[in-house]
Amino acid sequence: MTNPAENTADQALSERLGRLRIVLVETSHPGNIGATARAMKTMGLKRLALVNPREFPSAAATANASGADDILHVASRHESLAEAIADCGMVVGTTARPRYLEWPVESPRAMAQAVMTLPSNTHCALVFGREQSGLSNEELALCQRVIRIPTDETFSSLNLAQAVQICAYELRLAALAEAPLKLATDQEPLATAKETADAIEHLLRVMERVEFYNPARPKRLPDRLHRLINRSDLKRSEVRILRGFLTAIEELGQARA
């Protein structure tokens, strides 16, 4: 018979891991998708999302999954990264290159600890890039945090599924550690990626209206706004305040027109 205390601990672990999603963007080699499923299953992660995979389903994916094909069967497919992460309150990008200088790049360990303190109803996505070129700057701009597995500086690019394995392991270690005491205090969900993206669009619309922003010459404003807002881990109620303020400006403009 199983010990009831063990059951509760297992349940808590699978709840903590259950809100995590691995997102693979435009994977070229189906074998990497299978190996990712295997890496996930060994660490108790279940939800895989695929953005425009080159070949899937595929025999090579199933072979490399080595028994983790249940994860492949329920993997979701998406046309864009924005769609794959729309309901997530926390989106973490990964990069092999220390190129993302304007963004504080964290270790998977620091990220995993931060993720475990999120409100339990907040979904979290970890996003992995293309084998050849990684994630684009536009895709990284959709992320609230960026992590890099610390490697030798002269040879920093891991195989995709191996990168997933290391991150999944860190998440499992963090989930196995004692539940953070502070969890009970604030359970208000973070705004989802879709809510945040809509708010940024609204902000750009109003900026255009007051002639602060010219979409014909955007420079880097949209990218920078994404970074600014995504860095703030906004809660749903905070996004509502921002949108309400923007609507008030729009209405004032209309009343004066």
CA distances from 111 to 74, 91, 121, 124 (A): 26, 11, 18, 11
Q: Binding to ligand SAH by residue 3, rule CB under 6 A?
A: no
Instruction: Tell me the torsion sign for CA atoms 78, 80, 85, 87.
Output: negative
Instruction: Tell me the torsion sign for CA atoms 100, 101, 106, 108.
Output: positive
Contacts of 175 (CB under 8 A, 6+ apart): 13, 16, 17, 44, 112, 116
Helix, strand, coil % over all residues of the chain, rounded to 5: 50, 15, 40
Closest distance between ligand SAH and the C-beta of residue 156, in Å? Answer: 5
Q: What three-state secondary structure class fits 46?
A: coil
The smaller minimum CB distance to ligand SAH, of residues 30 and 200, is found at 30
Question: Among residue numbers 138 through 197, which ones bind ligand SAH (CB under 6 A)?
Answer: 148-149, 151, 156-158, 160, 163
Contact flags string 194-223 toward ligand SAH, x per CB under 6 A = ------------------------------
Residue 19 CB: number of other CB atoms within 10 A?
A: 19
Closest distance between ligand SAH and the C-beta of residue 96, in Å? Answer: 3
Closest distance between ligand SAH and the C-beta of residue 250, in Å? Answer: 39
The smaller minimum CB distance to ligand SAH, of residues 161 and 234, is found at 161
Distance CA 240, CA 214 (A): 25
The smaller minimum CB distance to ligand SAH, of residues 134 and 222, is found at 134
Asked, as a colleague might, if the bond just before 215 is cis with ω within 30 of 0, I would say no
Contact flags string 98-137 toward ligand SAH, x per CB under 6 A = ------------------------------xx-x-xxx--
Q: Give the interface size with ligand SAH as a residue count (CB under 6 A).
A: 18
The smaller minimum CB distance to ligand SAH, of residues 47 and 148, is found at 148
Closest distance between ligand SAH and the C-beta of residue 125, in Å? Answer: 12
Closest distance between ligand SAH and the C-beta of residue 157, in Å? Answer: 4
Q: Which amino acid is at 237?
A: S
Closest distance between ligand SAH and the C-beta of residue 4, in Å? Answer: 39
CA distances from 79 to 25, 53, 90, 95 (A): 10, 9, 20, 21
Q: Binding to ligand SAH by residue 97, rule CB under 6 A?
A: yes
**Binding region for ligand SAH (CB under 6 A):** 94-97, 128-129, 131, 133-135, 148-149, 151, 156-158, 160, 163
